[in-house]
């Protein structure tokens, strides 16, 4: 797997984070198999320690990367480190692995008989759509 594209969800690679040491930024990254041009989108929040310290309310933390300072180079390195931990053999298994850390663009969807992604009605349908090879 490899990173194809990485951007702030606003659609640019320039951060809207006014203070890189105190911010929360939603990041989108396209990751795909090395042997293919495209990939799938995975989203996650990058949040700094300073931002968390001043947060006034409790919150869930799924798909969250905590950093000291918002820097694109560091974020890309963290994603590459995560990808390098993955020793799966298929892209479908790679999706499952990455989905443990980031939100996958097709989460909650399964393949219908015609190959079209539709909302999953049962939790185990994602496993049926992406069986182990």
Predicted TM-score of the model (pTM): 0.75
Looking at residue 126, what is its pLDDT? 47
Distance CA(77)–CA(87), nearest Å, equals: 18
Looking at residue 3, what is its pLDDT? 73
Looking at residue 85, what is its pLDDT? 87
> Considering the domain boundaries, does residue 71 fall inside one?
yes
> Considering the domain boundaries, does residue 19 fall inside one?
yes
> Considering the domain boundaries, does residue 125 fall inside one?
no
> Considering the domain boundaries, does residue 94 fall inside one?
yes
> Considering the domain boundaries, does residue 27 fall inside one?
yes
> Considering the domain boundaries, does residue 122 fall inside one?
no
CA 112 from centroid of its chain's CA atoms: 24
Count structural domains, the chain: 1
Looking at residue 108, what is its pLDDT? 74
Length of the chain: 133
* Ranges in the chain, pLDDT < 50: 11-13, 122-123, 125-126, 130, 133
Looking at residue 112, what is its pLDDT? 55
Looking at residue 133, what is its pLDDT? 47
Q: Are 27 and 89 in contact, with CB atoms under 8 Å apart?
A: no
| Residue 105 Cα distances to 12, 28, 102, 110, angstroms | 18, 10, 9, 12
Dihedral sign, CA of 98, 100, 106, 112? positive
Residue numbers of the domain that contains 31: 2-107
């Amino acid at each position: 797997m490899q990173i194809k594209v990485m951007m702030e969800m606003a659609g640019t690679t320039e951060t809207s984070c006014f203070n890189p040491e105190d911010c929360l930024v939603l990041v989108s990254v396209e990751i795909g198999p090395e042997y293919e041009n495209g990939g799938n989108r995975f989203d996650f929040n990058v949040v700094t320690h300073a931002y968390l310290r001043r947060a006034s309310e409790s919150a869930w933390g799924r798909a969250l990367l905590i950093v000291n300072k918002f820097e694109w180079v560091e974020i890309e390195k963290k994603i590459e480190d995560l990808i390098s931990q993955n020793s799966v053999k298929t892209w479908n298994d790679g999706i499952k692995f990455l989905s443990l850390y980031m939100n996958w663009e097709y989460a909650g969807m399964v393949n219908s008989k015609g190959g079209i992604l539709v909302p999953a009605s049962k939790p185990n349908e994602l496993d049926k759509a992406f069986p182990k090879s």
